[in-house]
Amino acid sequence: MKGHLAAKPVKKANSNHFLSDVISISDFSRQTIELVLTQAAKLEKMPREKKAKILQNKLVATLFLEPSTRTRLSFESAAQNLGAKVVSLSEPQTSSLSKGESFSDTIKMANGYADIIVVRHSFDGAARRAAEVCTKPIVNAGDGANQHPSQTLLDLYTIYKEFGKIDGLKIMMAGDLKYGRTVHSLMYALSHFKDVTVYLYSPVGLEMPKYIIEETKNLKIHQTNNLEKFIPNVDIIYATRIQKERFPDELEYQKVKNAYVITNELISKAKKGVKIMHPLPRITEIAQEVDSTPAALYFTQAANGIPVREAILSLLQDVKK
Amino acid sequence: MKGHLAAKPVKKANSNHFLSDVISISDFSRQTIELVLTQAAKLEKMPREKKAKILQNKLVATLFLEPSTRTRLSFESAAQNLGAKVVSLSEPQTSSLSKGESFSDTIKMANGYADIIVVRHSFDGAARRAAEVCTKPIVNAGDGANQHPSQTLLDLYTIYKEFGKIDGLKIMMAGDLKYGRTVHSLMYALSHFKDVTVYLYSPVGLEMPKYIIEETKNLKIHQTNNLEKFIPNVDIIYATRIQKERFPDELEYQKVKNAYVITNELISKAKKGVKIMHPLPRITEIAQEVDSTPAALYFTQAANGIPVREAILSLLQDVKK
Amino acid sequence: MKGHLAAKPVKKANSNHFLSDVISISDFSRQTIELVLTQAAKLEKMPREKKAKILQNKLVATLFLEPSTRTRLSFESAAQNLGAKVVSLSEPQTSSLSKGESFSDTIKMANGYADIIVVRHSFDGAARRAAEVCTKPIVNAGDGANQHPSQTLLDLYTIYKEFGKIDGLKIMMAGDLKYGRTVHSLMYALSHFKDVTVYLYSPVGLEMPKYIIEETKNLKIHQTNNLEKFIPNVDIIYATRIQKERFPDELEYQKVKNAYVITNELISKAKKGVKIMHPLPRITEIAQEVDSTPAALYFTQAANGIPVREAILSLLQDVKK
């Protein structure tokens, strides 16, 4: 992997200049983002035996109080690749929470045995709350409709690995831009980079919120309800699922759930070398036929979750709060 | 352990002559079966410290999309005994599947972080499908009523360890021979060996399917609906549970569920040294009183799952697909 | 940590003088309790790398057939800190038990792969039954309303670490003393020590059972239904939750569920240096405001579960049954 980041002298992984908790992508400067990307690239090249010493004899707790298999397994793989032990909770219904225990108390107890705590929760702001009551680093693995910073970092890492840069790219975000946590965070993250153009396509009623467009003025933004309009311009189509569970109203979901499908025919209208990204799981937004084409970057993107989460955990390990 | 296999020069565990995936016992030749049995015997004698280096720094994913505690824990023990790390999914209801993700996509994502993937699924053919979309070795830990090859291999290993051979033995299969996946696979596996006699006892209506009897012509087969008829002849009684969940019709199950019980009295009519096997869990097919007799081989059989699964995982580790 | 135990010559951790199973606190003599406390203190000071060799290449199974996240994660952390591998079952509904397998058979199978088995079950006496059918050490992590010995040992360890002794202390037990398993066991354990005074406060109808008071005559016992009466006398207030799930009658629970709350105002009436303990989870028994005061010992107490469970596992490892 070669790119504009490679030239920069990067702080050592065990310096104390990283964040003390990974809660929100809005806490990340361009420099902090680049620290993660560089560390991920370094870990991808590192022999397994060497990597397995980084968190040796450390314990990582993954507390998933909302189901998310893919994210949990990715974090647990990353932690174990670094040599850490893992204790895992992934079933809200079997936890002490059913006895009425508060989330804060759960975190305070995990504080007593874990060196790093990865948290997923269905309530917005849960991860920030966890960080407040805990002396160990907290990693937010998704809190409601709010934040999922490791997803955004792996998106950026995927773009960076594929294109060797982020500056100057043209990216279409497609799908549910109203409720889609992933694209919201990606907007903020991309706004740290230079000369990035973002095309926003969504079905009517699922447009990107205005406050986000106003807060990411550094981006060149074009909006449309016509999927094909900007296709010839873009380097990347970042597709998202229409997420049933984020809709307050089932009827609103039914109207739009099959609003768009990315097919090989659509891709044929794009620039050569266009890449399709998707945070997964997909339902019908990307046709299966796309999977075997060079445009399909989404499984690579998912696999990039490992080095990026390794990077986050390794950078957090020596943090003093 | 001494037996007719010991004399054969066996391929090294890390040769590339093993299967690229373990999907069905029907993919196994006698030679491949013996490779597993010999490797299992070798691993049973190996000191723990040495064994723990075989899959060191490798990651095994156990994706149990249908519950099976015993099989999952056995695979996870085996993987960890070999030094592998394990990430585990065992609750379909908490997975991304509830968001509509396809099974293929789940496997493709696991492909991004795991070195070997153990899959259990309620649909026939799911494991073969997984192997098709995955570049890493797949181990089938049971797909519906279809296949469960590690069970068959541990059955064979148990027989081989106990009798020093498989050729020439007389084995009664008792219970539900119609729906019983275990006995179906065992029939095919035994048909690779010489001079094996199989007595098939089942309650009326639960007989072994005709196509299996036709496809295993190498066996000497005797069928009966009278449990005691062939008891004096046999070396092994392989009992199976009447599996409620495989019956399309609850009434059909109620009629036969208590059709037979293996008691000490029944065993007293058998040859000296007869052994009782059972894939477990049992319900009422074997009386508790049998547990403490020398005939009871079923807990040893379950324990043999560990070296056999260690053998499978260790033989797969260097496979190139 | 300094205390009266330090002077005693203690048996080596790997001697065979420990219990062969940890089932009930009533199996513990003062000497056995002190062996655990001393071992826990030793493990707390031990460097992680050294500790990680104690159970290296051993396998611990945690079979939680009743949900208890906190206890499970604490045991799994302890086992892994000692270098053990862990296989874990924590969802009764996904186990073979739903196929009708008996608890004894589950234990017998775990016997085939695990070196130590930690069991939690909703039925009284389940752990003792497990120990009877198993050749490997069993640790009871709670069986119904019966016993939870590692909780009692961590309570004692917390007291000993904080006060340097157990003899001579004055302890109030508050809350549900009728159904509270924790306080019952603590009564028996404290009765091994000298000159311990116990004040029992409970809402009317939830008094400590008479047979326990009679069986712990070595304690100086005072009973009251007035929370404030003995507050000025005590070194420790051991608060417990009113446990909804132990009440046969929901109405009985509703009457008493908010019977008492420990607040900073209440604590101001106690001796300087008073400590509040609680087995957690709490609901409303201790006001959140107490958490940040020096009186709050309950999160430290929960964290002490790690060295105490490490001590139990390390003492069991060389046991011959």
Q: How confident is the model at residue B14 (pLDDT cuts 50, 70, 90)?
A: very low
Q: Give me the mean pLDDT over the C287-312 stretch.
A: 97
Please choose, from the candidates B227, C77, B258, C24, the residue with its C-alpha nearest in 3D space to the C-alpha of residue A63: C77
What are the residues whose beta carbons fall under 8 Å from the beta carbon of B254, sequence distance 6 or more? none
Q: How confident is the model at residue B165 (pLDDT cuts 50, 70, 90)?
A: very high
d(C-alpha A52, C-alpha A60), whole Å? 14
Q: Which long-range contacts (CB under 8 A, 24 or more apart) does B193-196 make?
A: B193/B30, B193/B166, B193/B167, B194/B167, B194/B168, B195/B167, B195/B168, B195/B220, B196/B166, B196/B167, B196/B168, B196/B169, B196/B170, B196/B171, B196/B220
Residue C122 has pLDDT above 70, yes or no: yes
Q: How confident is the model at residue C42 (pLDDT cuts 50, 70, 90)?
A: very high
d(C-alpha C144, C-alpha C131), whole Å? 16
Amino acid letter, C53: K
pLDDT single digits (tens) A259-275: 789 999 999 999 999 99
Q: Which long-range contacts (CB under 8 A, 24 or more apart) does B47-52 make?
A: B48/B81, B48/C57, B49/C56, B49/C57, B51/B81, B51/B82, B51/B83, B51/B310, B52/B81, B52/B82, B52/B83, B52/C57
Q: Distance from CA of residue C260 to its chain's centroid?
A: 23
C46, C69, C240: which to substitute to probe chain A, counting the most A Cβ within 10 Å? C69
d(C-alpha C298, C-alpha A27), whole Å? 33
Please choose, from the candidates C148, C167, C162, C312, the residue with its C-alpha nearest in 3D space to the C-alpha of residue C246: C148
Q: By three-state DSSP, how is residue A49 classified?
A: helix
With 0-12 CB in 10 A as exposed, 13-18 as middle and 19+ as buried, what is B229?
A: middle
pLDDT single digits (tens) A178-227: 988 899 999 999 999 999 999 999 998 899 999 999 999 999 999 999 99
Residues from B contacting C (CB-CB < 8 Å) are 48-49, 52, 67-70, 73-74, 76-77, 80-81, 90-91, 241, 243-245, 280-283, 291, 299-300, 302-303, 305-306
Higher pLDDT, C7 or B139: B139
pLDDT in the model for residue C9: 37
Residue from the list C49, C69, C241 with its beta carbon closest to the beta carbon of A95: C69
- Angle of CA points B207, B209, B214, to nearest 5°: 125
C53, C96, C136, C317: which to substitute to probe chain B, counting the most B Cβ within 10 Å? C96
pTM: 0.91
Residues from B contacting A (CB-CB < 8 Å) are 56-57, 59, 61, 85, 87, 89, 91, 93-102, 105-106, 108-114
Q: How many CA atoms lie within 13 A of B312 on its CB side?
A: 35
What are the residues whose beta carbons fall under 8 Å from the beta carbon of C192, sequence distance 6 or more? C28, C29, C30, C33, C218
- Tell me the domains of chain C and their CATH numbers: 25-146+305-315 (3.40.50.1370), 149-303 (3.40.50.1370)
Kindly list the residues from chain C whose CB atom is less than 8 angstroms away from the CB atom of residue B76. Answer: 87
- Nearest residue in chain A measured CA to CA from C49: A57
Q: Give me the mean pLDDT over the B190-205 stretch.
A: 96
pLDDT in the model for residue C258: 77
pLDDT single digits (tens) C61-70: 999 998 788 8
Amino acid letter, C252: E
pLDDT single digits (tens) B107-130: 999 999 999 999 999 888 999 999
Q: By three-state DSSP, how is residue B272 classified?
A: coil
Residue C52 has pLDDT above 80, yes or no: yes
What are the residues whose beta carbons fall under 8 Å from the beta carbon of C251, sequence distance 6 or more? none
pLDDT single digits (tens) B68-97: 888 999 999 999 999 999 999 986 644 444
Q: Give me the mean pLDDT over the C99-119 stretch.
A: 88
ipTM for the complex shown: 0.89
Q: By three-state DSSP, how is residue B143 classified?
A: strand
CA A93 to chain B, closest CA, distance in angstroms equals 10
d(C-alpha B123, C-alpha B105), whole Å? 16
Q: How confident is the model at residue B320 (pLDDT cuts 50, 70, 90)?
A: low
**Positive/negative CA dihedral, C150, C152, C155, C157:** negative
Residue B3 has pLDDT above 50, yes or no: no
Kindly list the residues from chain B whose CB atom is less than 8 angstroms away from the CB atom of residue C108. Answer: 291, 299, 302
**Above pLDDT 70, what percent of chain A?**
91
- Nearest residue in chain C measured CA to CA from A59: C77
Q: By three-state DSSP, how is residue B303 classified?
A: helix
Residues of chain A with pLDDT under 50: 1-16, 93-98
**Positive/negative CA dihedral, C183, C82, B59, A62:** positive
- Nearest residue in chain C measured CA to CA from B81: C57
Average confidence score pLDDT of chain A: 90
CA A281 to chain C, closest CA, distance in angstroms equals 24
Pairing of strands C116-121, C59-64: parallel
Residue from the list A81, A241, A299 with its beta carbon closest to the beta carbon of B108: A299
Cβ atoms of C234 and C199 closer than 8 Å: yes
Residue C7 has pLDDT above 70, yes or no: no
Please answer yes or no on whether A69 and B57 come within 8 Å at the CB atom: no
Instruction: Name the maximum alpha-carbon separation found in chain A.
Output: 57
What H or E segment, with its residue span, contains residue A310? Answer: helix A305-316
Please answer yes or no on whether B109 and A302 come within 8 Å at the CB atom: yes
